[in-house]
């Protein structure tokens, strides 16, 4: 089983959670690989930092171009970054690369870009990509003011696209967030999918040490039940 990781916004910890999931699944003996189909914001080598972190957390070795087939220099909305580069993001290329990675591993952790509905080209967005890949979705909720609205709107789109929300992760991105526990409880009451873990605020979080905070057994239970 593979998963599509989305978030309530950009900068809410999708890469951190994706890497932690890779470490947690690898610790169970799974062959795992991270996949960042689209990234905006690259270094002088045309490599994206998030994609490099996913590659480092994987125990299946794949070429960088497989991990991140579309990488653009400008850290702006991906469809705009692609347009500035004279490129159109094609789902066919992404799906082909995903199938290659899936053939080499037990599980692929696919990290989306930005929020769930961010445009990828003139007609398609991140939700369309998740639907085309037909993967269960794991929602990363950046715990800060406004997260309830963002989480529930994202969940509504996941449902409208007839995708399964396999679970969600509460990632505390705002230090000292007021009523943190009450906000998490409000989401528990409104999200039918299991809470896979709560990641406390850390100035410099490390995915390998945070892996133990994610209850991946809940994912295995859903796989078995399904």
> Which residue of the set 14, 36, 123, 221 is catalytic?
36
Contact predicate 42/116, CB 8 Å: no
Is 36 assigned a catalytic role?
A: yes
Burial level of 223, CB count in 10 A (0-12/13-18/19+)? exposed
Q: For residues 4 and 112, what is the distance between their CA atoms, to the nearest angstrom?
A: 7
Enclosing H/E stretch for 19 = helix 14-27
Distances (CA, A) of 105 to 3, 8, 96, 100, 220: 13, 28, 15, 9, 16
- Active-site amino acid positions: 36
């Amino acid at each position: 089983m593979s998963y599509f990781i989305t978030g309530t916004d950009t900068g809410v910890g999708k890469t951190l959670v994706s890497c932690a999931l890779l470490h947690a699944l690898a610790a169970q003996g799974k062959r795992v690989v991270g996949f960042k189909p689209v990234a905006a914001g690259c270094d002088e080598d045309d490599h994206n930092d998030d994609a490099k972190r996913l590659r480092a957390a994987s125990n299946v070795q794949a070429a960088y171009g497989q991990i991140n087939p579309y990488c653009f220099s400008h850290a702006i909305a991906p469809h705009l970054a692609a347009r500035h580069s004279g490129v159109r993001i094609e789902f066919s290329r992404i799906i082909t690369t995903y199938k290659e990675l899936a053939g080499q591993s037990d599980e692929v952790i696919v990290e989306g870009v930005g929020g769930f509905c961010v445009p990828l080209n003139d007609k398609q967005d991140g939700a369309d990509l998740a639907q085309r890949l037909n993967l269960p979705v794991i929602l990363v909720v950046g715990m800060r003011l406004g997260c309830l609205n963002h989480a529930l709107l994202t969940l509504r789109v996941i449902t409208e696209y007839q995708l399964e929300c396999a679970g969600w992760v509460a990632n505390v991105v705002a230090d000292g967030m007021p009523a943190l526990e009450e906000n998490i409880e409000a989401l528990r009451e409104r999200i039918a999918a299991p809470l896979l873990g709560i990641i406390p605020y850390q100035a410099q979080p490390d995915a390998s040490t945070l892996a133990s905070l994610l209850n991946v057994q809940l994912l295995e239970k859903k796989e078995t039940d399904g």
